[in-house]
């Protein structure tokens, strides 16, 4: 299940395209895991291309950390504490405790979002046939993982006093995003403030010389330099209700007021009333006719009469359909468009009886698919972290003058209290700039 889950994570969320960073995280993780109680598991440590701060472990050894969480860290010791926490979930078999035989047979893939439940958004947005259950570890499991991860990191001479900064950062992210100081997942996660205090209490009991502990700040900051920050527009981005994909050079509009999500596998939108869905995916490189024939011939689908058409100069074929989905019948429209050497599938659907009210909006969205020719949209580049050593004391507010993010964000990224808090000369800091390459 863990290996299957790892493959699904890579396919659905994607990894950061930076071999040096991947090797760096893998090396740190393996050093910790090989000193754990289960050193011979097929451990793997990879960085997920996701701006949401999170880390999670799958049964049997696959461990992932997001680039969004890396951006909040300041040194290797913090990274080691996170990886140690995830290793502890595996060695203590926390996920196995949560899975009954019946659940395992039904789900096929199970993994737990440990640090942030926000990653569970992918559970409802992934491709067909993929079912995810995001396990909520109990408070005792989380405390045990904190304790054991602390021990793993300390055994590698990391300065575990840095561990509390990770929990503090997650608390600040929640507050900055407007989340309640009492998180909705408090029933299963210890409060971040409690985790900070527990970490400090453990650190106070360390008997080995503290000056022998390492943070490896310079090595960590070097790897952060050039890392994509926030959403990566090269993989597609939203501007209002329009979606643009610079790499694939297409655009289309979503129905007004629909909530949308872009993943490497699909662009998915849901109506405000949550009674209709629209999904764009790649359907291979065959002809639209072949793709339509394959879709409409699936068991349980009753097809309408396919219609040949041209959408903004793009050859396409479209058809209405009905399908049996679990305990209800859904009605929808599917279109296949041949553009840029790919065939794209746009499908919109709603429960029987509700589709008629959504038909016009879905047809308009399909009809908006068009080549992307705007030079500014095609050239859109992601923001990236830039690490630099300060020659004079500087505040986040001063850094923000030459950054693409505001001073409050820079205070968060550099773990200082406020946008006017001076950062001393000689310290390496992170700022955010617009750039095309690492």
Indicate if 52 and 199 belong to the same structural domain.
Answer: yes
**CA neighbours within 13 Å on the CB side: how many for 345?**
24
In the prediction, which pLDDT does 316 show?
Answer: 97
Indicate if 36 and 137 belong to the same structural domain.
Answer: yes
Among 59, 57, 60, residue whose Cα is nearest residue 42: 60
| pLDDT at residue 273 tops 80 | yes
Indicate if 387 and 374 belong to the same structural domain.
Answer: no
The neighbour count for residue 74, using CB atoms within 10 Å, is 23
| pLDDT at residue 148 tops 80 | yes
% pLDDT > 70, the chain? 84
Q: What token pair was written down for 104?
A: 């395992």
In the prediction, which pLDDT does 436 show?
Answer: 62
Cα separation values, 61 from 33, 42, 99, 108, Å: 9, 6, 16, 17
Domain of residue 406, residue span: 383-434
Taking a C-beta distance cutoff of 8 angstroms, is the pair 381, 234 a contact? yes
Distance CA 190, CA 172 (A): 15
Among 11, 22, 95, 98, residue whose Cα is nearest residue 61: 95
Q: Which residue has the higher pLDDT, 126 or 255?
A: 255
| pLDDT at residue 15 tops 50 | yes
- What is the rounded average pLDDT of the residues 158-167? 86
Indicate if 361 and 417 belong to the same structural domain.
Answer: no
* Average model confidence (pLDDT) across the chain: 84
Q: What is the pLDDT of residues 80-136, one digit of tens each?
A: 999 999 999 889 776 666 554 334 333 333 332 233 233 333 333 333 222 322 345
Indicate if 209 and 268 belong to the same structural domain.
Answer: no
In the prediction, which pLDDT does 233 show?
Answer: 94
Distance CA 417, CA 395 (A): 10
* Dihedral over alpha carbons 9, 10, 12, 15 (to 10 degrees): 120
Q: Identify the top-confidence range among 52-56, 169-173, 176-180, 422-426.
A: 422-426
Indicate if 195 and 318 belong to the same structural domain.
Answer: no
Indicate if 173 and 288 belong to the same structural domain.
Answer: no
Cα separation values, 46 from 17, 38, 248, Å: 11, 19, 26
- Which residues does 47 contact at the CB level (< 8 Å), separation at least 6? 15, 16, 18, 21, 22, 25, 64, 65, 66, 67, 70
**CA neighbours within 13 Å on the CB side: how many for 264?**
12
In the prediction, which pLDDT does 197 show?
Answer: 75
352-382 core/surface letters (b: 16 or more CB in 10 A; e: else): eebbeebbebbeebbbbbbebeeeebeeeeb
Q: Using DSSP, state whether 75 is helix, strand or coil.
A: coil
- Among the candidates 193, 224, 255, a domain finishes at 224
In the prediction, which pLDDT does 98 show?
Answer: 58
- Among the candidates 175, 195, 224, a domain finishes at 224
Q: What token pair was written down for 221?
A: 């900051």
Q: What token pair was written down for 82?
A: 């996170």
In the prediction, which pLDDT does 420 show?
Answer: 96
| pLDDT at residue 22 tops 60 | yes
- What is the rounded average pLDDT of the residues 239-261? 95
In the prediction, which pLDDT does 139 show?
Answer: 65
Task: Report residue 199's pLDDT band, with 50, 70 and 90 as the boundaries.
Answer: confident
In the prediction, which pLDDT does 318 show?
Answer: 97
Indicate if 78 and 216 belong to the same structural domain.
Answer: yes
Helices (H), 92-131: 94-98, 101-107
Q: Using DSSP, state whether 46 is helix, strand or coil.
A: strand
Indicate if 356 and 284 belong to the same structural domain.
Answer: yes
Domain count, the chain: 3
**DSSP code, position 199:** H
- Among the candidates 359, 378, 397, a domain finishes at 378
The neighbour count for residue 198, using CB atoms within 10 Å, is 18
Indicate if 145 and 181 belong to the same structural domain.
Answer: yes
Indicate if 287 and 368 belong to the same structural domain.
Answer: yes
* Burial class of residue 80 in the structure, from the number of CB atoms within 10 Å of its CB (0-12 exposed, 13-18 middle, 19+ buried): buried
Indicate if 311 and 427 belong to the same structural domain.
Answer: no
* pTM of the shown model: 0.78
Taking a C-beta distance cutoff of 8 angstroms, is the pair 432, 403 a contact? yes
In the prediction, which pLDDT does 93 show?
Answer: 76
């Amino acid at each position: 299940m863990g290996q299957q889950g790892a493959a699904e994570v890579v396919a659905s969320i994607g990894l950061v395209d930076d071999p040096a960073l991947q090797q760096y995280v893998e090396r740190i993780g393996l050093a910790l895991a090989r000193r754990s109680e289960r050193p011979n598991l097929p451990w793997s440590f990879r960085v997920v291309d996701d701006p949401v701060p999170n880390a999670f472990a799958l049964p049997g050894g696959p461990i992932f950390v997001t680039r969004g969480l890396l951006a909040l860290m300041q040194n290797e010791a913090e990274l080691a504490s996170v990886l140690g926490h995830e290793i502890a979930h595996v060695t203590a078999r926390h996920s196995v405790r949560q899975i009954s035989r019946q659940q395992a047979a039904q789900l096929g893939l199970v993994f737990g979002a440990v640090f942030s439940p926000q990653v569970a958004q992918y559970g409802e947005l992934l491709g067909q046939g993929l079912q995810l259950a995001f396990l909520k570890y109990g408070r005792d499991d989380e405390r045990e993982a904190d304790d054991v991860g602390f021990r793993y990191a300390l055994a590698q001479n990391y300065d575990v006093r840095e561990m509390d900064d990770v929990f503090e950062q997650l608390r600040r992210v929640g507050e900055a995003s407007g989340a309640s100081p009492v998180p909705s997942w408090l029933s299963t996660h210890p409060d971040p403030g409690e985790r900070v205090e527990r970490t400090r209490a453990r650190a106070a009991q360390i008997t080995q010389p503290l000056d022998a502990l390492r943070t490896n700040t310079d090595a960590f900051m070097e790897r952060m330099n050039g890392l994509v920050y926030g959403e990566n527009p090269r993989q597609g981005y939203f501007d209002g209700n329009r979606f643009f994909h610079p790499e694939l050079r297409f655009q289309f509009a979503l129905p007004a007021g629909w909530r949308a999500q872009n993943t490497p596998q699909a662009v998915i939108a849901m109506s405000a009333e949550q009674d209709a869905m629209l999904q764009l995916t790649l359907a291979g490189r065959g002809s639209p006719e072949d793709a339509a024939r394959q879709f409409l011939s699936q068991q349980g689908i009753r097809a309408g009469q396919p219609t040949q058409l041209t959408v903004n100069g793009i050859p396409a074929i479209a058809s209405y359909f009905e399908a049996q989905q679990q305990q209800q019948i859904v009605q929808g429209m599917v279109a296949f468009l041949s553009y840029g050497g790919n065939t794209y599938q746009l499908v919109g659907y709603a429960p029987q009886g509700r589709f008629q009210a959504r038909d016009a909006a879905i047809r308009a969205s399909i009809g908006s698919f068009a080549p992307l020719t705007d030079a500014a949209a095609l050239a859109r580049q992601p923001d990236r972290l830039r690490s630099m050593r300060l020659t004079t004391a500087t505040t986040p507010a001063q850094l923000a003058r030459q950054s693409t993010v505001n001073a409050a964000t820079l205070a968060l990224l550099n773990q200082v209290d406020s946008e006017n808090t001076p950062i001393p000369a000689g310290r390496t800091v992170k700022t955010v700039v617009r750039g095309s390459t690492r």
